[in-house]
Amino acid sequence: MTRMTARPENVHQAQLLRLLRDDGPRSRAELGDVVRLSRSKLAVEIDRLVELGLVEPAGLAASRGGRRSSIVRLSSRLRVVGIDIGATSIDVAVTNGELEILGHVSMPCNVRQGPDVVLEKALELLGKLRGEGLVEDVHGAGIGVPGPVSFREGMPVVPPIMPGWDRFPVREVISQRLGCPVLVDNDVNIMALGEVHAGLARSVDDFLLVKIGTGVGCGIVVGGAVYRGMSGSAGDIGHIRVDEDGPTCVCGNVGCLEAYFSGAALARDATAAARSGRSAFLAERLEQAGELTAVDVAAAVAAGDTAAVRLVREGGRRVGQVLAGLISFFNPGLVVIAGGVAGLGHMLLAEIRSVVYRRSPPLATGNLPIVLSELEDTAGVIGATRLISDHMFAAT
Amino acid sequence: MTRMTARPENVHQAQLLRLLRDDGPRSRAELGDVVRLSRSKLAVEIDRLVELGLVEPAGLAASRGGRRSSIVRLSSRLRVVGIDIGATSIDVAVTNGELEILGHVSMPCNVRQGPDVVLEKALELLGKLRGEGLVEDVHGAGIGVPGPVSFREGMPVVPPIMPGWDRFPVREVISQRLGCPVLVDNDVNIMALGEVHAGLARSVDDFLLVKIGTGVGCGIVVGGAVYRGMSGSAGDIGHIRVDEDGPTCVCGNVGCLEAYFSGAALARDATAAARSGRSAFLAERLEQAGELTAVDVAAAVAAGDTAAVRLVREGGRRVGQVLAGLISFFNPGLVVIAGGVAGLGHMLLAEIRSVVYRRSPPLATGNLPIVLSELEDTAGVIGATRLISDHMFAAT
């Protein structure tokens, strides 16, 4: 549909594009301060980026004592699309080159409907943004899916909750439909990139994003980039054993973190508390709604329900136990907790922190913030645009 | 004492030097095949490296159909020193630019004697190698120490088994004495680099080296470089909790991996088995030597002593338990087991593997070798030379 966009031709052009993306419009003099190029070579590279249609002039800067330097910015025509496919919803956002959200739409959608239906719905949502005049040409798109992905091949691989998606060529299909570069990754990795770009991890090189949703996963960022491991399964922490005995997990092992604490485990335990008479609050919600979720537990905690408080404390302790080990090992600069269960908020956080600070070495926890994500539902779509933008703005 | 060595002036020169280091002498034509430079630019960079005294001509290559290309190699005058300070020994080796060991000497030495005594002994050992005519000018030295290090500052930081070393400026002192660049890191990280350079990890980007000595530590390599974490404590896995209850550790917590299985724990448990009458074999060795170490346990295992076998199996299970979690998280391409306790060999390895393969996700363990180091006592010194060599051969 659209012409393939130009790519930077060398590392200097790539660096300039990323600077303009992350810091916004800059004068040529300011760019000269951070790029290791002679003034004349810098001018050549910037002029070339303008020729390629990636950068455009944006007026004159205030004088720094001499001739006023001209300001440049990323082309205002650049459009990047982020698609975040969750277990039960799709989010689609379109951004400018600086990855600022221009429009964001979402709809409920069960990923179990398979790739044909779900991807068509994602494209419909994008069509809606087109209809609002927010996007014509798409220059790149990033896609997150709720399961393991072969990043190299751009497809899900044996994803447990995505029947029909195994080895479906998501990248190829969407790239052909949109006529632009596309990258696919799992939802936790793109959330981590969202935190790198727009969240609390902006200034941190090495950090962990722990997503506690239906399952539990971890995004690992090393030197500002996602670390995927040998076969792309890095961060798969939901099945780390927290106890020798313990509940049986869907994976067949016993004592997995997810079997102790996750959206699914919480719903199971809350239902048990309601049925056994340990929580009148939860019993009432169960009767009204027919099922319980993390939202009900959060409400019960807010109402001072003892059984709910115990569930959250116990869950936080288990997460903290696993995190303590990972922090000893990885010594991150920041840990961000995200996902639906993170909505349990500060009581969960307090319990996690208490275990980690007690169990990890002081050298690793001395300056370690453990915080809740502040991005709410935008981490995924922003991270998806960041994923493809890093690719678009890399030297060929 | 010696003139500071020239450093590469740009990324191309740095790349050429690393190629010649890792692959040995190469013809200009062969270098042209792997370096992204025009023929004329490549010639300029190689000639400049010869001028700087870092590279020298080494004859003519066989014809590839046209004019015979001239071979170049790293200057045969380059000398790199690796110093591996252990808890109870010092190893010093000198290598050529390719990091091939030309001479290697060691002596018993207790690190508790403090930096003045220990570093003087290390320099004496280097003097011995000088006396043998193996080294004149030293162009770089890497040093490993048995404790946490601030890599940036080049000094140990609150190292538990190194009284007197806290914030002692090891890098500065040795750099002044030798008149060359020096880098300092902890012993586990330099062993990991030894595996990268000369061991089983040569062709693996991301791997873990687990050292089970007096304590337990882990070297983490990401993309061929040591990952140190936010405050340099990455890989500090000895105090990860393996059980809610369990023996009290020197760190004050209970249930730490080190308290279950390490050289120290093994000595403790073997002594208990000897004294309680559970092992006649160990009782006899204890009576003869007055104390027991991992070597005695290995001998007991070889003799079929049931109590010793149980100790090793139980220890392997605990290590495997921690490793299973780390492998789920990090998805490495290889795990190398090293250190004194690794001398327990294949029985230990079998037990570790059995737990990991049962507990980690198939995607992470499908192609994951877990092996014993084959470098024996050279991993540390080679890794130390690799550490400083990577620095010497980086673009300034």
pLDDT digits (tens, 9 = 90+) for A235-265: 999 999 988 788 888 778 888 999 999 888 9
Domain assignment present for residue B6? The answer is no
Contact A231 B331 (CB under 8 A): yes
Interface check B244 vs A, CB under 8 A? yes
Give the C-alpha separation, A90 to A98, whole Å: 23
The verdict on A48 and A65 lying in the same domain is yes
The verdict on A267 and A295 lying in the same domain is yes
| Contacts B332 to A, Cβ<8 Å | 229-230
Q: How confident is the model at residue B234 (pLDDT cuts 50, 70, 90)?
A: very high
pLDDT surpassing 50 at residue B140:
yes
The verdict on A225 and A369 lying in the same domain is yes
| Contacts A233 to B, Cβ<8 Å | 328, 331, 361, 363-364
Average pLDDT for B367-378: 90
Predicted pLDDT of residue A2: 39
pLDDT surpassing 50 at residue B388:
yes
Chain B nearest-CA distance from A136, in A, is 37
CB atoms within 10 A of CB A66: 7
Mutant choice from A155, A207, A220, A236 vs B, greatest count of B C-beta within 10 A: A236
Domain assignment present for residue A109? The answer is yes
Q: What is residue B294's three-state secondary structure?
A: helix
How far CA B305 is from CA of B166, B278, B292, B294, B311, in Å, comes to 42, 9, 15, 14, 10
Domain assignment present for residue A6? The answer is no
Contact A331 B229 (CB under 8 A): yes
Convert the pLDDT of each residue in A194-237 to its tens digit.
Answer: 999 999 999 898 999 999 988 899 999 999 999 999 988 999 99
Contact B230 A329 (CB under 8 A): no
Domain assignment present for residue B344? The answer is yes
Chain B nearest-CA distance from A326, in A, is 7
Average pLDDT for B370-388: 94
Give the C-alpha separation, B314 to B266, whole Å: 11
The verdict on B219 and B242 lying in the same domain is yes
Q: Which residue has the tokens 């994803």?
A: A159
> Among partner residues A231, A253, A328, which is closest to B363 by beta-carbon distance?
A231
Predicted interface score ipTM higher than 0.85:
yes
Interface check B310 vs A, CB under 8 A? no
- Strand duo A225-226 + A216-222: pairing: antiparallel
Chain B nearest-CA distance from A231, in A, is 7
Domain assignment present for residue B2? The answer is no
Mutant choice from A329, A335, A356, A357 vs B, greatest count of B C-beta within 10 A: A329
Q: How confident is the model at residue A4 (pLDDT cuts 50, 70, 90)?
A: low
Q: What is the mean pLDDT of chain A?
A: 92
Closest CA to A232 of A159, A169, A175, A340: A159
Domain assignment present for residue B186? The answer is yes
Nearest chain B residue to A358 by CA distance is B253
The verdict on A162 and A97 lying in the same domain is yes
How large a percentage of chain B has pLDDT more than 70? 99
The distance from CA B32 to its chain's CA centroid, rounded to whole angstroms, is 32
The verdict on A115 and A182 lying in the same domain is yes
Closest CA to B157 of B184, B120, B117, B118: B184
| Contacts A235 to B, Cβ<8 Å | 329, 331
Q: Which of A66-75, A220-229, B243-252 has the lowest mean pLDDT?
A: B243-252
DSSP assignment of B2-21 equals: -PPPP--SSHHHHHHHHHHH
Closest CA to B136 of B46, B1, B36: B1
Predicted pLDDT of residue B2: 39
Nearest chain B residue to A243 by CA distance is B243
Q: How confident is the model at residue B1 (pLDDT cuts 50, 70, 90)?
A: very low
Domain of residue B274, residue span: 202-373
How far CA B161 is from CA of B43, B146, B164, in Å, comes to 51, 8, 10
Q: What is residue B331's three-state secondary structure?
A: coil
> Among partner residues B321, B331, B367, which is closest to A234 by beta-carbon distance?
B331
Q: Which of A263-272, A359-368, B210-219 has the lowest mean pLDDT?
A: A359-368
Give the tokens for residue A160. 């447990």
- Strand duo B155-156 + B149-150: pairing: antiparallel
Q: How confident is the model at residue A95 (pLDDT cuts 50, 70, 90)?
A: very high
Predicted pLDDT of residue A289: 93
Nearest chain B residue to A327 by CA distance is B234
Mutant choice from B363, B370, B396 vs A, greatest count of A C-beta within 10 A: B363
Contact A253 B359 (CB under 8 A): yes
Residues 146 to 185 of B: which have CB under 8 A from any A CB?
A: 148, 157-158
Contact A230 B329 (CB under 8 A): no
Chain B nearest-CA distance from A111, in A, is 22
| Contacts B243 to A, Cβ<8 Å | 244
- How many CB pairs lie under 8 A apart between chains A and B? 138
The verdict on B191 and B303 lying in the same domain is no
The verdict on A293 and A192 lying in the same domain is no
B306: number of CA atoms within 13 Å, CB side?
Answer: 2
Predicted pLDDT of residue B69: 80
Convert the pLDDT of each residue in A125-159 to its tens digit.
Answer: 999 999 998 888 999 999 999 988 999 999 999 88
Give the C-alpha separation, B347 to B355, whole Å: 13
State how many domains chain B has. 3
User: Of A52, A74, A96, at which residue does a domain stop?
Assistant: A74
Nearest chain B residue to A257 by CA distance is B325
Give the tokens for residue A139. 């220059």
Chain A nearest-CA distance from B159, in A, is 11
Greater confidence (A39 vs B143) lies with: B143
The verdict on B275 and B229 lying in the same domain is yes
Predicted pLDDT of residue B342: 74
Give the C-alpha separation, B257 to B211, whole Å: 13
The verdict on A340 and A278 lying in the same domain is yes
Distance separating the N- and C-terminal Cα atoms of chain A: 23
Contact B324 A240 (CB under 8 A): yes
Mutant choice from A231, A239, A319 vs B, greatest count of B C-beta within 10 A: A231
Q: What is the CATH number of the domain that holds B142?
A: 3.30.420.40
Chain B nearest-CA distance from A151, in A, is 14
Neighbouring-strand partners of residue A292? none
Interface check A240 vs B, CB under 8 A? yes
The verdict on B163 and B222 lying in the same domain is no
| Contacts A244 to B, Cβ<8 Å | 243
Give the C-alpha separation, B247 to B258, whole Å: 10
Mutant choice from A149, A166, A204, A230 vs B, greatest count of B C-beta within 10 A: A230
Contact A367 B325 (CB under 8 A): no
| Contacts B367 to A, Cβ<8 Å | 230-231
Q: What is the CATH number of the domain that holds A54?
A: 1.10.10.10
Domain assignment present for residue A337? The answer is yes
Chain B nearest-CA distance from A291, in A, is 31
Q: How confident is the model at residue B4 (pLDDT cuts 50, 70, 90)?
A: low
Nearest chain B residue to A251 by CA distance is B361
Contact A241 B325 (CB under 8 A): yes
Mutant choice from A226, A314, A331 vs B, greatest count of B C-beta within 10 A: A331
- Note whether A17 and A7 are within 8 A (CB): no
Radius of gyration of chain B (CA): 23
Q: What is the mean pLDDT of chain B?
A: 92
The verdict on A328 and A257 lying in the same domain is yes
pLDDT surpassing 60 at residue B318:
yes
| Contacts B359 to A, Cβ<8 Å | 239, 241, 253
Domain assignment present for residue A3? The answer is no
What sections of chain A are H helices per DSSP? 11-23, 28-34, 39-51, 115-131, 170-178, 187-198, 257-260, 263-275, 280-289, 294-302, 306-330, 346-359, 362-365, 379-392
Give the C-alpha separation, B144 to B175, whole Å: 14
Predicted pLDDT of residue A54: 95
In this structure, chain B runs to a length of 396
User: Of B74, B98, B120, at which residue does a domain stop?
Assistant: B74
Amino acid at B67: R
